[in-house]
Amino acid sequence: MAARQGVPRLSTGDMLREARRAGTRLGRKVQRRMDAGELVSDDVIMEIVAEALEAPAAAGGFVFDGFPRTLAQADGLAELLETRGNHLDAVLSLDVPDDELIARISGRRVCEAGGHVTHTRAIGDATRCPECGGTLFLRTDDEPDTVRRRLAVYREQTEPLLDYYARGETGLTVIDGSGAPDVVTARIDEALAGASSEMAT
């Protein structure tokens, strides 16, 4: 979606995983909570998001992935955007039944070498990345028990954001996220085309 919009994708999960790979103090600090499927603290997240927004690549717009996840983060984002003179063009919620989410997440495989993401539905039991031949692994937090914990955390801490954004200025677009990737992609494009007439930044 970010590539099609020609803007960077700012994934807080990727930023945290990168900090862990690099062995920074931040990486060590968030390790335990991430592996348990819990959220890391709002302060940490707001700090890395504020820093990511300073990157020149983000000057022409951006897509957030995995952020905001709490009401405190949503408030923090609103403040950040106001300070920067930016606004949200669209807020999308991809709606997928829990059973399907668990099947998707526990079948996800990530390439150690290039970070490519693939799925057992496409590659079966293969252990090598179809893109580059690198070794594929299952994220610790993609283990079925941890996925169930992540869904519970979502219900408690993130779901209230649906109401928050539905009542907000930008509004909330709920997209049916079930079905094949190209079908869901088409639904997202259609929703964004509707929002694009209002896009200014």
Question: How far is residue 128 from each of residues 53, 77, 106, 121, 139, measured CA to CA in Å?
Answer: 34, 39, 17, 14, 15
Element (H, E) at 15: helix 12-22
Helix (H, G, I), strand (E, B) or coil at 65: strand
177-196 in b/e burial notation, b at 16+ Cβ within 10 A? beeeeeebeebbeeebeebe
What is the side-by-side strand order in the sheet with 117-119?
A: 117-119, 108-111, 136-137
Q: Minimum CB separation from ligand AMP for residue 153, in Å?
A: 7
Provide the mask over 136-175, with x wherever binding to ligand AMP is found by CB under 6 A and - wherever it is not. -----x--------x-------------------------
Task: Considering only the stretches 61-69, 84-92, 126-134, 168-176, report the one whose residues sit in contact with ligand AMP under the rule CB under 6 A.
Answer: 61-69
Nearer CB in complex with ligand AMP: 32/199: 32
To ligand AMP, the closest distance from the beta carbon of 41 in angstroms equals: 8
Residue 196 C-beta: closest distance to ligand AMP, Å: 25
Specify the amino acid at residue 147. Answer: V
Other Cβ atoms within 10 Å of 175 Cβ, number: 16
* 62 lies in the site for ligand AMP, by CB under 6 A: no
Give the rounded distance of the alpha carbon of 180 from its chain centre.
19
* Other C-beta atoms lying within 10 Å of the C-beta of residue 70: 19
CB of 108 to ligand AMP, least distance (A): 10
Is the alpha carbon torsion for 36, 179, 3, 84 positive or negative?
A: negative
In the list 10, 19, 45, 129, the residue contacting ligand AMP (rule: CB under 6 A) is 45
37 near ligand AMP, rule: CB under 6 A: yes
Residue nearest to ligand AMP (CB): 13
Question: Which member of 9, 20, 29, 33 binds ligand AMP (CB under 6 A)?
Answer: 33
Which of 67, 192 has the CB closer to ligand AMP? 67
76 scored as a contact of ligand AMP (CB under 6 A): no
Backbone angles phi, psi at 137, to 5 degrees: -140, 165
- Residue numbers 122-141 binding ligand AMP by CB under 6 A: 141
* Residue ranges binding ligand AMP (CB under 6 A): 12-13, 16, 33-34, 37-40, 45, 66-69, 73, 141, 150
